[in-house]
Amino acid sequence: MSAIAPPQARATTGRVMPRAWHLIERNLFVYRRTWTIIVSGFFEPLFYLVAMGYGLGRLIGDVTGPGGQPIPYAMFVAPALLATGAMNGAVAEATFNFFFKLNYNRTFQAILATPLSVRDVAVGEIAWALIRGGLYAIGFIVVIAALGLATSPLALLAIPAALLLGFAAGAVGMAATSFMRSHQDFDLINVITLPMFLFSATFYPIETYPEAIRGIVAITPLYQGVALIRGLTVGVLGPEMLFQVAYLAVMGMIGLWITSRRLDRLLRK
């Protein structure tokens, strides 16, 4: 339609990155000043590792690992703490910070007046949440490798696996946040994430539970993520991993889809 208005010379770079990337850039601006908040999330799983893995681990001794072979308790909990750290990092971004941006800051309205779409916003915010979760995963994998708790080179794959878990939990958390009306609703998030942390076969094998309860535990993304990551750090692969990957991917896609639809409802009235 150049006949209608002559296109002006534009200093537009070729689009190499998807538009959603700019949300990550925006968040980098913010965290350039407040990076200490991110760092604190790295130490929490480390403290648990020392307390549980080594403190409690001395009393417990060996437990049954993914392949059925006995492994030291610290080696059993370390991947679970890695998974939890990555999940919590992503969920914190996708819930608390996302809620603030959605309800108190008019950032998203401003962004939607540019070429970006609600889907770009949803994808960009999830991607950012993943980056935060992923940073924790990378930091933690270095620590457990140094401590000799990750014995297999497959442990490197724990990083993409942790990202996948962050995607699933983050996207669902973000979708849930889009329905929240006030800060009080966040108590609900704690009510869900804390038991998930304690009971998703993080500190003891799922076989500890009676059959009926196992089914409930297996629904949680954290259980699937822990099982996947534990297999990788210990170096035992199995066909069930394909299911775990698919389960988390589908969960994330559904969360993303709901989030996009909700943003459209809320922001494009």
Partner 1 sequence: MPMNPASPPLIHARGLTKRFGAFTAVDAVDFDVAPGEAFGFLGPNGAGKTSTMKMIGCTSPASGGTLTVLGMDPETQGPEIRGRLGVVPQQDTLDEELTVRENLLIYGRYFGLSRAECGRRADELLEFAQLSERGSSRVEPLSGGMKRRLTIARSLINEPDVMLLDEPTTGLDPQARHLLWDRLYRLKQRGVTLVLTTHYMDEAEQLCDRLVVMDKAKIVAEGSPRSLIEQYSTREVAEMRFAPGVQDTLDGQFNGLADRVEHLPDRVLLYAEDGEAVAVAAHDRGLRPETVLVRRSTLEDVFLRLTGRSLVD
Residues at the interface with partner 1 (CB under 8 A): 1, 3-6, 8, 10-13, 15, 19, 22, 25-26, 29-30, 105-107, 109-117, 268-269
**What tokens were used for 101?**
């941006």
Residue 183 vs 268, nearer CB to partner 1: 268
Residue 137 burial by Cβ neighbours in a 10 Å radius (0-12, 13-18, 19+): buried
- Sign, CA dihedral 193-195-197-201, equals negative
Residue type, 87: M
Give min distance, CB of 177 to partner 1, in A. 17
Among candidate residues 216, 127, 212, the one with its CA nearest the CA of residue 170:
127
CA distance 128 to 131: 5
Give min distance, CB of 248 to partner 1, in A. 30
Residue 13 vs 36, nearer CB to partner 1: 13
In degrees rounded to 5, what are phi and psi of residue 157?
-70, -10
Residue 11 vs 212, nearer CB to partner 1: 11
Residue 105 vs 190, nearer CB to partner 1: 105
Give min distance, CB of 97 to partner 1, in A. 10
Give min distance, CB of 189 to partner 1, in A. 22
Helix or strand or coil: residue 71? strand
Residue 117 vs 151, nearer CB to partner 1: 117
Virtual torsion, Cα 101, 102, 107, 111, nearest 10 deg: 130
Give min distance, CB of 138 to partner 1, in A. 25
Contact 83, 229 (CB under 8 A): yes
Contact 126, 177 (CB under 8 A): no
Residue 12 burial by Cβ neighbours in a 10 Å radius (0-12, 13-18, 19+): exposed
Residue 116 vs 227, nearer CB to partner 1: 116
Pairing state of beta strands 62-64 and 70-72? antiparallel
Residue 12 vs 40, nearer CB to partner 1: 12
Give min distance, CB of 52 to partner 1, in A. 36
Give min distance, CB of 115 to partner 1, in A. 4
